[in-house]
Structure 1
Amino acid sequence: MSHCGLPEFKLTCRENYAVIEIMKENFTILEIKWDEQIVTVVRMDMLGDGCPDYEFINIKVHNKNFECAPSNEKLTYSYGCSSSNISSRKVPQEKGFTCTPNETVPGLYTMETPHQTNKISCNNTTDIPVLPKYYRYLQSNKMAAKDVVKEGFDLRYKFDTKEACSECLRSGGQCGCNQVSKEFVCFYEENIAGDGGSRKWKLGLGIGVGFLGLFLIAIFIICCYKKRRASSNIFSRSTTDPYLNTDVEGGSCYFGVPVFPFNDLAKATNNFASEKELGDGGFGSVYHGKLKDGREVAVKRLYEHNYKRVEQFMNEIEILTRLRHRNLVSLYGCTSRHSRELLLVYEYIPNGTVADHLHGEQAKPGLLPWSIRMSIAIETATALAYLHASEIVHRDVKTNNILLDNNFTVKVADFGLSRLFPNDVTHVSTAPQGTPGYVDPEYHQCYQLTSKSDVYSFGVVLIELISSLPAVDITRHRHEINLANLATSKIQKCEFHELIDPSIGFETDSEVRRMTIAVAELAFQCLQQNKEMRPSMEEVLETLKSIESREDSPDENQEKEFDDIRMIKSEQPPPPSPECDEVGLLKNMRPPASPISVTHKWPSTRSITPNVSG
């Protein structure tokens, strides 16, 4: 068989797989991280079900071109073990597995603490490198050992001609390759003798063709990899693992949630018919469907062109399996991450989103009274405070991601961008994401994420609830395109009558007037540009409850609060961001006293998650 590229790499393409031969073993390429010089590979015969076709061997890759990345974890497999020893619990049952086509050769695996293998009889023991992420999943019983193995491991490749070639060109040489050693060589004029210009021209042509070949090889690897990802459907459904149990749709449990066959979900949504579409956005579309058992569901279908779809798919599953709260949308299940398409299945929330009712298709004056709006604010704050207490930051809080059932009960959705946020760290650095009009201005400046980023976004939601205005409206004055800019300006000037929606009773009901002004002032605190000046979500929740129960004592404090705001009124606020998203809010200015607390593709107005996260 002939190979592409340098002979040492022995790269081939077999049945839509990019395959590389290393130390006489064939490995399938799963992912290439060019900036880190990392290639994720798996032994080709272990890709289907995590079991080898012939035998387990120690996977130790170390030669002049490749070496195992130090980030890999080690998983020790012992196989051909005595089934009587395993069944008698000389080793824990959950550590057992079976391999070979007829599933008759029992085995076990070990991680940090080796089992007492001298007490059992096994034919062989071998070490297999695995990715640290899936190693942790195995530790927490979220994945089976065989599934972890087929996710592969990382190799670091040692060849990097880009830097060497750049240095060669800077020194006046020409980049080339030694046809005998196949190693990079820098050619200079004195190295070229004989035929003069003709020979130089031929050498230059040869060098150019050589580097064009290397470039085409790189494209070849990427194409094979993408084709393999799009066509693979190789999720193991073995019931020998104790946490894989059949569900009502005939699938398995994956990360603790049922796995639905793709064909069942396609049938439930009438093959994702356009009339079933509930919403669309930058990451995927959401469809209404009905399962075989009669349950109505919302199915999120991640776009194939979204290169982060697998990460978002796994992230949303991992987070939602950790959470149970009446104000969070429930995840019913998913397809396998190796399915032909990545689908997430949620409970169907029939009454649309808060955005729909405030300024969308379902918005009508008087149909969303203040009592319901206040309830929405409190329930949303309750859900976000629960997330923060669970060490999770939502990162995309907006009225399009707040769903409403028929009783107007809140269901917060869309955890595709959410992140775990351990207690022992102060922030998480990440590339800016989110929705224009809701993004924390500090997030743009330093790319650091904290729970106060959610607080800022929730401040925008509060302003939407009292004003019925969208977070971004390009038909408004340029200084007021962002609702946050508009609101802080009106609140500074105490022009509440120009901000608060008159249809909710601001002018006619003194109690509504008291509460909406108090909520506006709370939102004012949430929208501070400096995150340290914002309250925590728990403090926001307590303040909202106090406002609802009249514990804020407005008669005694109202005038003082107005004075505090008027004191800031004369200060010059910062100009709006040219990006119309980094909202400047009272930078280097003293915050007002709290009335309660201590002193993309978005052409459609429909939500990506009108009935589910999106």
Structure 2
Amino acid sequence: MVAICLYDTCFDRTLFTGKVKLLLLMAATLILQHTGNSSLANPGCRDKCGNVSIPYPFGIGKYCFREGFEVYCPPDDVPILNTSGTPLLEINLNFSEARIQNNISQVSNITKFNDMLIGASVPVQRFFLVSRTRNIFIAIGCSTVALVAGDMETPIEQDAGIGFYVISACASFCNCSGSGCCQIAIPRNLKSFFPVFWSNTLIRTPNLSPCSYAFIAEIGWFTFDPSYVTSQNLHNQFGFGPPLVLDWVVGNRSCEAARKMGSSYPCVDTNRYRCNCSTSYEGNPDLAEGCRDINECDHPSMYPCINGTCTNTIGSYSCTCPAGTQSKDPKNSPCTPIPSTNKHHQVKVFIGTSIGFVLIIICISALLIQYQKKKLEKEKEKFFKQNGGNILYQQMLAKQIDTVILFTIEDLKKVTNNYDRSRELGRGGHGTIYKGILDDNKVVAVKRSKIMNVIHAEEFVQEIIILSQLNHRNVARLLGCCLEVEVPILVYEYIPNGTLFQFIHDNHGRAAVSLEDRLRIAQESAEALEYLHLSINRPIVHGDVKSPNILLDDKFMAKVTDFGASRILPKDEVQLMTMVQGTLGYLDPEYLQERKLTEKSDVYSFGVVILELITRKTAIYFERPGEGKNLASSFLEAMKGNRVGCMLDSSITGVGTKELFQEVTELASRCLSLKGEERLSMTQVADKLKAIRKTLHLTEKVGSDSSICELPPSSYWTARILAVDIETPHVDRVGTS
């Protein structure tokens, strides 16, 4: 706690006892010594006007002061307190006081009985009171009664004759030792005032006193001189006006009520209403973090530490005796030497205990480190064996294979810079792919999966071996793996130009992809899948064919990758799956119903990829917010309505003939047959795409003819589509990966 709340209903300075005043004076001295050039103004605001320091809540300029505490600094550098419009002489932050320049009210020629004249008023606005203990009311003149009238926080008696509160009165006469002066204390809670002169002709002696004066001034400022009564000396000497001390507060509630105000509670450093920094703190409590800790050790006279070692702490200090000495209270009594027998014994005990404690810590730490190492080694061995590492290692030793690299955990941490996020190439629901750099500066892609299909170790190793032996220009090579983790980490060759999905859908201002490039990428991808299906007389079903799994190299040649869902099928058999795998929008309907993963499942998914290429729509696309449509279903429905041409990407419809687009859409349709046996094989798909590409440059351009929307379906598919009522499903918004 670094600020205290000093709430006073009457705001009477008499509440501060002599002891409290002494403490505050000491605190003020410390602040002057420690704050030095540190500004007590709001950050970024002027802290001085001329020679007058302006601490917060006072301030010069917008956002620099609290409401009611604005100060204007004119070119002559004489600050003006805007609430009263009077010159500001000094601000005392510790006692919550402000000294301003008051007026001296002067009247002459009051000769009639009960004549009354009102002097200049001094408005003291909200949050300010005229200090009762620091000011006094003074009247000068002969046969003159001076009154102080004004506004008070607590109404006193109202004089019906003059219409304002009569607060204090002082009568000055010149018939007793020629005094001509009187003074009287002012009451509490005076907010604003104006002097009133009231003459009684029965006792008036005008020849002695041509003028009468009345004013409130700081106690001790004024020394009376008899010449002030009979001449203009007072006005000539003090025409600028006397100093007046105002008390100020930042709020008019109790401390408890103020704390409930929340963000509008003005004592921002901690709790208070008139704020002072707590004991052992200095600074401006009206600013956030404005109170700073005092180093008590720099002030031994105030914070004693008799021949001990002083240590400053936050909000306090500690005092300890040097080694070999003792004291019950080092702050108040001196440290004395410890008897020698006691000292030697304590030193021995301390040294022995310390050495024993250090040895215990070292032993425990060494045991824990050794335990963790053994635990990690056992886990690595367990996973290595569980993932078929022993089988793979034996085959590598027997030189049956030389196409797989076995990486350790440490190897992959090194090549990926400990899986640095800046090395991420892609992140999805199944895992993250990182860019890795091997010792020979070869760049690789490291796939760190979250889940893995549960298969036998021998089967997994066999898949790794076969996949690593694949050698086709349109298949991303599997270089190796790490089997020391629960889910094996696979390492592929690095393909630099991102995915087909990004190339089609996220071109970021690039020119539209040409029809030739789209057909070429489709043909290359089809040839890669054909190679997998015919590989080594044992079909490899990819299982998750989609545009994000087709990469583009530095020449934008297609590379099929991500065999995380691949399955190597025994010849003339299909794989019965226990759980659905793949991506929404690309899944084979027959596979969803029968859980049978075949080469024709890849054909269906590839048909969706063809649709993406010619329509530039995603597998699940949104025509309206929150309403997703299945691209394959929408395409088949458009075929049924003879409106499939309207779905084509407008950037390519002006390149080929209707017949060419009819061939492409027919190819996609045959890939998307609901029955797997009616779909083309990947060999047929690749051949068909090759033939379409050959005829592309020999055809006439369609131009901008809007009739492209009315592409007729082939006779083969017309009968089948018209015979099936296709309903386009609507799905919630989902991702496309």
Q: TM-score, normalised by structure 1?
A: 0.50
The higher radius of gyration belongs to 2
| Larger RCO, structure (CA 8 Å, separation 6 or more) | 1
Q: TM-score, normalised by structure 2?
A: 0.42
Higher strand share: 2
